Amino acid sequence: MDSTYDESDLTEVETEWIRSWVVSLMEQGKSPRTIHRKVSVFRTFVRFARRRGIMTHNPAETVTLPKVDKRMPEIVPEHSMGALFEEGVFASDWKGRRDRSMMALLYETGIRMGELIGLKVQDVDGSRRELRVYGKGRKERFVPLLPATMESIMQHVMDRPVGGDDLFVTDAGSTLYPSFVYRRVNHYLGEVSSLQKCSPHVLRHTFATHLLNRGAELAAVKELLGHASLSSTQVYTQHTTAKLKELHRASPLNQRSTGKQ
């Protein structure tokens, strides 16, 4: 904490000391995220101390911290996703068809990993080409399926060596679990992308961003993702806005005004 204060007993720290400490960290050039993390450690101590009856108040409760900019979600470019579904990427056996179907669903519907794991065979409506998904709080929603994805799923169901209600199963025929899905997604995205983090959630980010880039309405994307409010969906507009700025900078009018030909 700020060396201005010599008090070593953390239970006697005052609010003004915390504010001074935050200012000191800012003057040292610490990032807002670093400052939030440091203050969070102190707040964790305060919660512990209050449970033990050592402290009766939280001196950091009213301290205003610097605003942390939201990180833009990492996404996979459209051409890379196109390359993923080219012939030869997935094996021709039932496991390969399963993996292709899982990757297609995650990318083409934006469903969460937990939602994918919970899918049952009866959640697929072949006549309407729809998928029933149970999101947070078991809230039900329906998402459309592309013909190729629908065909891939049905082929997978017919060819897999085990039955049961689960739409997808592991190599051993058991219910999917998070680390299994993560490994499969990480493997395939690693084949077409250089992203540091190749998780199932990256495909959810990619789905939403690609839709918005192609002119989809924010409210429609919200419903497909199963978000409770538009504010959760608006984070994806950062990529859309960045792309618009890029296109604007490449405009002939902009090049004329800057003297570039």
Per-residue pLDDT of the chain (261 residues; tens, 9 = 90+): 555 545 556 677 888 888 899 899 888 988 888 988 899 998 898 888 888 888 888 888 888 888 876 666 688 888 999 999 887 889 989 999 999 999 999 999 999 999 999 999 999 998 899 999 998 888 899 999 999 889 989 888 888 888 789 999 999 989 999 999 999 999 999 988 888 788 898 998 898 888 888 888 888 888 888 887 777 677 667 655 455 444 434 434 444 444 554
Which strands sit side by side in the sheet containing 140-144, from one edge to the other? 124-125, 130-134, 140-144
Instruction: Name 251's Cβ contacts closer than 8 Å, sequence gap at least 6.
Output: none
Catalytic residues: 112, 136, 201, 204, 227, 236
* Cross-strand pairs, 134: 140
Phi, psi of 85 (to 5 degrees): -95, 15
